[in-house]
Amino acid sequence: MIPDLFHPPSEIRIGVIGLGYVGLPLAVEFGKQLPTLGFDISSKRIEALKQGRDHTRGVTGEQLAAASQLSFSASAEALSPCNTFIVTVPTPVDEHNTPDLTPLRQASQTLGAVLKNGDVVIYESTVYPGATEEICVPELEQASGLTFNVDFFVGYSPERINPGDPEHNVTNIVKVTSGSTPVTANHVDALYRRVVTVGTHKASSIKVAEAAKVIENTQRDVNIALINELAMLFHKLGLDTEEVLLAAGTKWNFLPFRPGLVGGHCISVDPYYLTYKARQIGFHPEMILAGRRTNDGMGNWIAETTIKFMIKRGMAVKGARILVLGLAFKENCPDLRNTRVVDIIGELKSYHAEVDIYDPWIDAAEARQEYALEVLTETPAKATYDAVILAVPHREFVIEGAAAIRSYGKSAAVLFDVKSALPAAMADLRL
């Protein structure tokens, strides 16, 4: 048995690296119980949090204030007193859908500079099986001069945050945990059980925990792809997809997936991490990649279907004014990462339509910086548009209602309700 080299609970000092949708809520929960430092390379982000403001809307000012032992810093030196580190940085893909582990490598290098004997580094970022020990550990060893599983230890506990979902949070989602040694695994599991009230699931190895995380969203992606394909088929057959799904859903074991755009930093990204590793070992995952192709093509299909419907009504497409409601990757969330609404917009513009975008949740400056898109900052003008696409059904749009949304358009305007958020009779098109 490896001796317990870790600090006793009374001496644990936590450092959370990366304060986005995942890291901040976690830091807040730990900060209620233990000395916790939230670290982020963005000094702007740190200053806002110090003032009690979270632009992701994942944590309120009151919740920040309740974490009495939580502090923030953009200085890596401030991490030095910590002995348990939790890495929650993004793991995106590049333009070729290849995993980009740059943020993970850089975070590991930063931690390596402050790592000490007996310290534990826990990774939460989604990766392919093996990445923690193959990529992160060597960075830690090189930067620190310490030896893995002798001087320092590593755990992996994949994040399960669902942005924009107030019902499922850090405390009430079962947490998968793992460690590089049996003692490490016990230590990591006990640490998370302090804040996760519904319990944990201790995996037998880091690789098992990594694989469990990456298939969670891969499974969802493939299932949504199936429903998206069915939606396109039912459109050709003149059937309402939502009506068909409701009928099929009366059977107890029918899975309640719905069609739609698949963007964001998880479902549309994680499958590429798994397929990347699969190809490394000579395995070609056909179903996973087929699902990705289907979901990545939905934005173009929505735009093309809108254009075809306009043509059937005798409407001119070139120069037509089209309003897209919603730009975030999902409803009731300001996150613009990998939003597939941009595919709808790009395809509409390829037909020389004039596209306006309105989304009360997102930061217009971020949309300009990330996608070179201008977003309306005020409510759209009434009776102006030839087509209206409700791409993201934020609660504001749903409360506003179908009649009000239709009023943005001219008398013969086309309304496409992408997520079937409005009564069926009120929309001309829906998935």
DSSP state letter for 8: P
CA distance 93 to 101: 8
Q: Can you read off the two tokens belonging to residue 1?
A: 């048995």
Residue 135 near residue 213, CB atoms below 8 Å: no
CA distance 32 to 206: 27
The reply to whether 82 belongs to the active site is no
CA atoms within 13 A on the CB side of 96: 4
Q: Which of 385, 387, 362, 381 is nearest to 373 (CA)?
A: 362
CA distance 127 to 27: 21
CA distance 43 to 85: 20
DSSP string, 229-266: HHHHHHHHHT--HHHHHHHHTTSTT----------TTT
- Token pair 């990462």 in the structure block, residue: 337
CA distance 267 to 335: 14
Provide the angle, in degrees to the nearest 10, between the axes of the packed helices 137-144 and 102-112: 30
Q: Which of 209, 211, 178, 171 is nearest to 193 (CA)?
A: 171
Task: Show the 3-state SS of 338-388.
Answer: CCCHHHHHHHHHHCCCEEEEECCCCCHHHHHHHHCCCCECCCCCCCCEEEE
Q: Which residues are catalytic?
A: 266
